[in-house]
Amino acid sequence: MTERKVAVVTGASSGIGRASARALAAKGYDVVCAARRLDRVEELAREIDGRAVQCDVTNVDDVKNLAAQAGSRVDVLVANAGGAFGAEPVATANLDDWRRMYDVNVIGTAATIQAFLPALEAAHGVIITIGSTAGIVSYEGGAGYCGSKHAVRALMGALRLELFDKPVRVCEIDPGMVKSDEFALVRFGGDAEKAAAVYQGVEAPLTQDDIADAVAYIAELPEHVNIDQMVVRPRAQAAQHKVHRTS
């Protein structure tokens, strides 16, 4: 019997992470589902015949334990854990929200990649981060979130140069607006009305399954093919879809 390839997905309790875990399991991967909410990833792991590990990416010990649980060879790392908190202008922004976003989105992503690099190198694996078009352009009320996603993009750009002679591919997916399980709801502290308003007037926003399909596509590319950046926009803007691909 052929041993299954291993994929690790952080932030797998909901949204893009959960959908990505399902998409990779459908491709035959042994998926390690990681998130702070253990009950949710345990349920998911049972559904997809994967493994559940409780992990807060802002906790170094949690991240090290996740890497140990995943094993010495990891074929795919989906560094998805992140969040958006608050939408106030710079003049009135809650800087604690900004610190929280940088801690999760930037430091948490860097810590996760650090912990998994040896296992990824051993498997000739691929790192996939879930960025955002907010890491390319800014918008009113989004300075903190946009700043954190710009930082993730810079992190991946530097990492791509630093690993040029290593058998590890480095890819970022930068979606446009995605209608996800909880993303907007968490951003507005559980205010369902404010969360719903985010999508008003948006024609056919992306879904979490759209991004999961992109994750699975990248994971299955031949080793000699690399996608540096994939920008995924809503269907109404499909003509603006871009893939930066190198071989």
- Return the closest-CA partner of residue 32 out of 65, 63, 13, 6: 6
| pLDDT for residue 206 | 87
Give every CB contact of residue 49 below 8 A, 6+ residues apart in sequence: 25, 30
User: 94, 87 in Cβ contact below 8 A?
Assistant: no
Q: Could you report the average pLDDT of every consecutive run of 10 residues in the chain (247 residues)?
A: 86 96 98 97 98 98 98 98 92 96 98 98 98 93 96 97 96 88 63 66 82 96 88 61 54
pTM of the entire structure?
0.89
| Alpha carbons 61 and 83: distance in angstroms, whole number | 21
| pLDDT for residue 24 | 98
| pLDDT for residue 176 | 87
Q: What domains lie within the chain, and their CATH numbers?
A: 6-246 (3.40.50.720)
| pLDDT for residue 239 | 38
Instruction: Give catalytic residues, as residue numbers.
Output: 145
Using CA atoms, how far residue 15 sits from 68, 123, 166, 183, 185, in Å, is: 25, 27, 31, 7, 12
| Alpha carbons 136 and 147: distance in angstroms, whole number | 10
The torsion angles phi and psi of 171, rounded to 5 degrees, stand at -135, 145
- By residue count, the chain amounts to 247
| pLDDT for residue 238 | 44
| pLDDT for residue 226 | 84
Angle between helical axes of 60-70 and 108-123 (0-180°, round to 10): 20
- Return the closest-CA partner of residue 105 out of 146, 139, 53: 146
| pLDDT for residue 3 | 87
**Tokens at 165, concatenated:** 């002679």
| Alpha carbons 142 and 88: distance in angstroms, whole number | 7
The pairing of strands 6-10 and 242-246 is unpaired
Q: Which helix (H) or strand (E) holds 243?
A: strand 242-246
| pLDDT for residue 110 | 98
Residue 37 three-state SS: coil
| pLDDT for residue 224 | 86
